[in-house]
């Protein structure tokens, strides 16, 4: 497997340099964490159900709604240390059952699919980290070894079992996402069964136990559309906490071109030349992948320029 670069193209959402040092060496230092929490420059935001409050700024941007720690809602258990920035500011997230209200009513709740296209790289990275931890915490409250309820440790990054002593760490599921091209340099795009008519994107799937990522690319493409794969080139990765994935992006070269969709995951798949895809975008016959996804960056790498942008709304 070779690796190709992505020069001159838009950065991948959630993967751009954020300026945040996760400072993992502080997670077990309770004295340091207590001092950081009480410091006047520390900033805190609440995460609930995969959402946080965002607000529009005077300069036309969007930011996470953060407060000093002394103004934050009270919680001792679900308090997660996310890291520090280059100015020494510490950031924490609080997991709550609901988001706090805002007296000025200007802030609004948003999930990552909406907020990720609007926030700065710093705020997006903080929210991705917090949402991923929240997802894991909600789903892994009991020890998988003995069944006892576990307790939170390491500032939200470990759950310990008081009965058998097992330590459990946040789970990340590797998934492959690939733009397949054929010998005519056409791109293969598919439409999932539950997607609206006209929405096409790259193929994707999870890596199975005992499988290399190259094997996973070939298996997923063949299972979904019946196309065989030869050369595979790695492009980039993207955190994708919906709820706990890491997307590994590839360009893959097909060694066959006949399509046979599985009908379970993929309902329709088509080969597109650049001209055909441009015409389909212009006519509205094809809706492009959401700009937040690495799928859009993979497609642009082949397409040669930005594709039409689609930003998911609050309910997407």
The CATH number given to whatever domain includes residue 260 is 3.90.79.10
The whole model's pTM is what? 0.90
Tell whether 15 is covered by a domain: no
In this structure, the answer to whether residues 158 and 239 fall within a common structural domain is no
For residue 226, count other CB atoms closer than 10 A to its CB: 15
Q: Residue 315: its pLDDT value, please?
A: 41
Share of residues in the chain with pLDDT > 90 (%) = 82
Contact 166, 148 (CB under 8 A): no
Tell whether 13 is covered by a domain: no
In this structure, the answer to whether residues 177 and 162 fall within a common structural domain is no
**C-alpha radius of gyration, the chain, whole number:** 22
CATH of the domain at 83: 3.90.79.20
Res. 25: pLDDT tops 80: yes
Phi, psi for residue 232 in degrees, rounded to 5: -125, 130
Tell whether 184 is covered by a domain: yes
In this structure, the answer to whether residues 60 and 106 fall within a common structural domain is yes
Per the structure, the count of domains in the chain is: 2
Q: Residue 74: its pLDDT value, please?
A: 78
**Two structure tokens written together for 70:** 């002394």
Question: Would you call 206 helix, strand, or coil by DSSP?
Answer: strand
Give tens-digit pLDDT for 29-79.
999 999 999 999 999 999 999 999 999 998 999 999 999 999 988 776 799
In this structure, the answer to whether residues 146 and 44 fall within a common structural domain is yes
CA–CA distance, 221 with 11 (Å, rounded to integer): 26
Res. 313: pLDDT tops 60: no
**Domain range for 259:** 173-303
In this structure, the answer to whether residues 214 and 128 fall within a common structural domain is no
Give tens-digit pLDDT for 189-229.
999 999 999 999 999 999 999 999 999 999 999 999 999 99
In this structure, the answer to whether residues 217 and 283 fall within a common structural domain is yes
Distance of CA 274 to the CA centre of its chain: 28
Mean pLDDT of the chain: 92
CA–CA distance, 309 with 238 (Å, rounded to integer): 18
Contact 156, 81 (CB under 8 A): yes
For residue 282, name the pLDDT band (cuts at 50, 70, 90): very high
């Amino acid at each position: 497997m070779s690796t190709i670069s992505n020069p001159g193209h838009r950065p991948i959402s959630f993967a751009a340099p954020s300026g945040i040092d996760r400072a993992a060496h502080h997670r077990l230092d309770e004295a340091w964490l207590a001092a950081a929490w009480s410091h006047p420059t520390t900033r805190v935001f609440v995460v609930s159900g995969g959402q946080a409050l965002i607000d529009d700024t005077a300069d036309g941007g969007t930011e996470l709604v953060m407060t000093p720690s002394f103004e934050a809602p009270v919680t001792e258990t679900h308090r997660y240390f996310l890291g520090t920035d280059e100015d020494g500011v510490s950031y924490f997230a609080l997991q709550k059952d609901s988001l706090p209200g805002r007296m000025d009513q200007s802030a609004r709740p948003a999930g990552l699919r909406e907020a990720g296209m609007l926030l700065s790289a710093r705020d997006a990275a903080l929210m991705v980290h917090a949402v991923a931890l929240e997802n894991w915490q909600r789903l892994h409250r009991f020890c998988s070894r003995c069944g006892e309820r576990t307790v939170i440790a390491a500032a939200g990054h470990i759950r310990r079992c008081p009965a058998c002593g097992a330590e459990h760490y946040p789970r990340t599921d590797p998934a492959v996402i690939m733009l397949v091209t054929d010998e005519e340099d056409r791109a293969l795009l598919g439409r999932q069964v539950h997607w609206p008519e006209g929405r096409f994107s790259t193929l994707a799937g999870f890596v199975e136990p005992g499988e290399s990522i190259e094997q996973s690319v070939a298996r997923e493409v063949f299972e979904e559309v019946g196309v065989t794969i030869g050369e595979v080139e790695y492009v980039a990765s993207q955190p994708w906490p919906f709820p706990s994935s890491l997307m590994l992006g590839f360009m893959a070269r097909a060694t066959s071109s006949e399509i046979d969709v599985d009908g379970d995951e993929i309902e329709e798949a088509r080969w597109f030349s650049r001209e055909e895809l441009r015409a389909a975008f212009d006519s509205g016959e094809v809706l492009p992948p959401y700009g937040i996804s690495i799928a859009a960056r993979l497609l642009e790498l082949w397409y040669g320029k930005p594709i039409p942008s689609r930003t998911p709304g609050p309910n997407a």
